[in-house]
Amino acid sequence: MAPPKKSKKAKRESKKSKKCKSMSVGPIEPRATESDWWDSFWQKNSPIPVFSATKWRDACNPFKNASSSIPTDEAEGFKFFFRVSKKTFDYICSLVRQDLVSRPPSGLINIEGRLLSVEKQVAIALRRLASGESQVSVGAAFGVGQSTVSQVTWRFIEAVEERAKHHLRWPDFNRMEEIKSKFETLYGLSNCCGAIDASHIIMTLPAVQTSDDWCDQENNYSMFLQGVVDDEMRFLDIVTGWPGGMTVSRLLKCTGFYRNCEAGERLNGNIRILSEGVEIREYVVGGVGYPLLPWLITPCEYNDISSSMSGFKTNHEAARSLAVRAFSQLKGTWRILSKVMWRPDKRKLPSIILVCCLLHNIVIDSKDKLQPDVALSSHHDPGYGQQCCKQVDPLGKAMRENIAKHFCSMAKRRLHQIDQSPSSLPKLNLTVLAQPMFELEPT
């Protein structure tokens, strides 16, 4: 008599059991590669001549055209290539280590046949995001193939997305009070909680995926990224994944940030009662592409600016430029966002964008100092004309007028104090509030 056949369910359970047994022991990182990856990378890509083999080294150096801008100091060179200090790099490795070693590496080897250490995997991913160079170029710098760069980068993105969430969150009460105090000190804007802006991430799409939704006003296929930043240009809230063919005002209304603010669940902290007796709620500042709302204050109309409002407009623009500069810093640091992405998976692209924002915040939280030429020298959305939203909420207009009047009265009061006692105010406050002496930083 033939043995009874196993049911399909029993076969699946048997396969699952075998799979679990085979994966019960995680891969062991090879000690030989944990410390030597940087030495070999720096020797190959640094601008310092290797006299005995200069021509050979330059021929193999994928960054030889940029070697004149690569710092000769090793610590600065590390930041040039990976956008973070060695200390911050080690912190990032600690965040993702468990994820990068807990799964089978599936062919993650270098040209010498050794498994890649976590440090080298992180370095490959950071270099890919920081440079925006092709996977072939990045792979050549590390001695790995294109497929390895692709696999390593995506594993890293998944790990950071999961492990670094705490670096991008809405502030608690105490932190928000600090932010509001900074905005008032630097820009004279009472109860201001941040600045908002949006930017296009440009891409090419296969013909079968193109549509008018993704084609923006400059005839590029793009995806939107919107962010709210604090006084240190740290992202507090972002949204991405929406087609670049939308207007900024429509994008705003599609976000959870808008819904939460409209429902009174965000920007709902302490109301500031000013000396004039008017109440100022919490708000953010934005550009003319956004609607004027009670919690989103946009610039005054060009044809409706009195002399008393001109000072407010100048400082409003200075505060709003924090968001503009944050996006320039983001896209300049992680240049994969500033280059045209070749046929990206639109389902994965939001994760790439999010991780770049998380890394941006990690750099700020770690107090890293980037090289001065990292940020984009031009606007973060070059070639895009300024959109203008005509929507004006009456409560938002009244709110803006109250903020502007309070700003002007505070400026007059400070100037009077200066006349009475020139040393009674810090120089920084004077620079901001005395309008003739205030200059906007170029973006």
Residue 392: other Cβ atoms inside 10 A? 14
Query: Cα separation of 156 and 117, whole Å?
Result: 13
Query: Cα separation of 107 and 150, whole Å?
Result: 12
On whether the CB atoms of residues 95 and 164 are closer than 8 A, the answer is: yes
Q: pLDDT tens for residues 374-396?
A: 877 778 887 787 889 999 999 99
- Extract the tokens encoding 313: 């407009």
Query: Rounded mean pLDDT of 75-85?
Result: 94
Q: H or E segment at 200?
A: strand 192-204
What percent of the chain lies above the pLDDT cut of 70?
A: 74
Bridge partners (DSSP) of residue 222 are 202
Listed in sequence order, the DSSP H helices in 334-426 are: 349-365, 394-420
- Extract the tokens encoding 442: 């170029």
Position 439 confidence tier, pLDDT thresholds 50, 70, 90: very low
This prediction has a pTM of: 0.82
Q: How far is CA 284 from CA 22, 360, 390, in A?
A: 53, 21, 18
pLDDT value of position 344: 83
Residue 106: other Cβ atoms inside 10 A? 10
Which residue matches tokens 């009061």?
A: 413
Q: Which of these ranges, 92-101, 213-222, 317-326, 401-410, has the smallest mean pLDDT? A: 401-410
For the chain, give every domain's residue range. Answer: 28-163, 173-345+371-437
Dmax of the chain from CA atoms? 111
The yes-or-no verdict on residue 346 having pLDDT over 90 is no
Query: Cα separation of 241 and 344, whole Å?
Result: 12
Which residue matches tokens 């940030």?
A: 257
pLDDT value of position 150: 93
Q: H or E segment at 285?
A: strand 283-285
Q: Which of these ranges, 15-24, 64-73, 80-89, 301-310, has the smallest mean pLDDT? A: 15-24
Query: Cα separation of 415 and 244, whole Å?
Result: 45
Average pLDDT, the chain: 81
Q: DSSP class of residue 205? A: -
The yes-or-no verdict on residue 345 having pLDDT over 70 is yes
Which SS3 state, helix, strand or coil, does residue 232 take? coil
Q: H or E segment at 252?
A: helix 248-253
pLDDT value of position 301: 72
pLDDT value of position 59: 45
On whether the CB atoms of residues 362 and 234 are closer than 8 A, the answer is: no
Which SS3 state, helix, strand or coil, does residue 330 take? helix
The yes-or-no verdict on residue 28 having pLDDT over 90 is no
pLDDT value of position 420: 57
The identity of residue 188, as a single letter, is G
On whether the CB atoms of residues 116 and 110 are closer than 8 A, the answer is: yes
The identity of residue 299, as a single letter, is P
Q: pLDDT tens for residues 168-187?
A: 999 999 999 999 999 999 99
Beta pairing, strands 221-229 & 192-204? antiparallel
Q: pLDDT tens for residues 146-173?
A: 999 999 999 999 999 999 999 999 999 9
Q: Which residues fall within 8 angstroms of residue 198, CB to CB, at 6 or more apart?
A: 224, 225, 226, 227, 248, 251, 289
The identity of residue 208, as a single letter, is V
Position 22 confidence tier, pLDDT thresholds 50, 70, 90: very low
On whether the CB atoms of residues 263 and 255 are closer than 8 A, the answer is: no
Cα-based torsion angle of the residue sequence 236, 169, 267, 222 in order, rounded to the nearest 10 degrees:
50
Position 408 confidence tier, pLDDT thresholds 50, 70, 90: confident
pLDDT value of position 224: 95
Which residue matches tokens 């497929």?
A: 147
CA 311, distance to chain mean position in Å, is 30
